Amino acid sequence: MRTDKQQAFIEHYVHTGNATKSAIMAGYSEKGAEVRGHNLKKQFAGEIAEETRKGIVDAVPGALAQLKELAYKAESESVRFQAVKDILDRAGLKPVDRIEQTTIEQVSTEELNKELEALMIESTPEVIGITH
């Protein structure tokens, strides 16, 4: 169970990322805020991470709206292009990575047959003393 001050610390830390400042804003004394903030940050690391994730999720619709605004209305063509590309990437329509092509050596059928015969001879165990 968290106290009101601890909850306030978590909320302030998620917004500021500064443990000392967050401790002061939460109502802890300035004199011990640096140590108190460090301890609270360690003590509530899981809660801070969860609140941070929630904050990111909550920001997604606004960020998407800004990307759409840039895609439609930015004066710079390169900004519009990058915004459209970012939207498509996040929608799972990322372009395929380039595939490196290698040159295959041209070999005649005769050379391939000779190589196949040699491989078959190597892989066939000699059977001595058995007749059909």
Q: What is the pTM of this model?
A: 0.57
Q: Give the type of residue at 94.
A: K
Helices (H), 17-125: 19-25, 33-43, 45-73, 77-90, 109-123
Max CA distance (Å), the chain: 99
What CATH fold (topology level) applies to the domain 1-43?
Answer: Arc Repressor Mutant, subunit A (1.10.10)
Tell me the C-alpha distance between 21 and 57, whole Å: 25
pLDDT at 130 over 60: no
- The 10s digit of each residue's pLDDT in 4-62 is 999 999 999 999 999 999 999 999 999 999 999 999 999 999 999 999 999 999 998 99
Contact partners, residue 52, CB within 8 Å, separation at least 6:
14
Residue ranges per structural domain of the chain: 1-43
Cβ atoms of 37 and 20 within 8 Å: the answer is yes
Stated as kind and residue range, the H or E segment containing 132 is none
Tell me the C-alpha distance between 105 and 33, whole Å: 71
Direct distance between the N- and C-terminal alpha carbons of the chain, in angstroms, rounded to an integer:
86
